[in-house]
Amino acid sequence: MIRYELECADGDRFEAWFRNSADYDDQAAKGLLMCPHCGVAKVGKAVMAPAVLRGAGKEREARAALQALAAKSREHIAKNYAYVGDKFAEEVRAMTEGEAEERLIWGEAKPDDAKALIEEGAPVAPIPPGFAPPKPDQVN
């Protein structure tokens, strides 16, 4: 048996089990898959997290892959985002209210401020530990 995370054309996600990958391919080709939420028949595989590998060698491989992903994330953020330090919440609010030009930023926010930003609908997300670049000496 194999489990796939599926997504319909309307963006609903759900999981389904198949005997094997060929069984999924056969049902998809015949148009037999349908979203249980909205009934849309256009369904495809969604991006899924990789399975956890077992064994010492595979564990090292998984750790190395995660470290490579974290390094790529740190490089991307450092290259494309401005560090605003503890002014993060203020900067986000200024941008969402049209008082400041929108730009890509990263920084720190107190838990209450982060929660409030999310509740306000601000486009923010936490950066997992190890994925953020080192803080620059000066705030931009």
Looking at residue 117, what is its pLDDT?
Answer: 93
Q: Looking at the structure, tell me whether residues 75 and 130 fall in a common domain.
A: yes
Which domain range does residue 33 map to?
2-45
Q: What pLDDT does residue 50 have?
A: 62
Distance of alpha carbon 127 from alpha carbon 135, whole angstroms: 13
Is pLDDT above 50 for 137?
A: yes
75 and 137 in a single domain? The answer is yes
> 92 or 29: whose pLDDT is higher?
92
Question: Does 62 map to a domain?
Answer: no
Claim to verify: residue 79 and residue 130 sit in the same structural domain: yes
Task: Tell me: do 78 and 140 sit in the same domain.
Answer: yes
Give the H or E element holding residue 78.
helix 56-80
Between the alpha carbon of residue 56 and those of residues 53, 68, 70, the distances in Å are 9, 18, 21
Residues 53-74: what's their mean pLDDT? Answer: 81
Q: How many domains in the chain?
A: 2
E strand spans, 9-68: 13-18, 43-45
Kindly state whether residue 58 falls inside one of the protein's structural domains.
no
For residues 98 and 39, state if they share a domain.
no
Highest mean pLDDT among 5-19, 34-48, 94-108, 119-133: 94-108
Average pLDDT over residues 26-37: 85
Average pLDDT, the chain: 86
> Which residue, 22, 76, 73, 10, is CA-closest to 46?
10
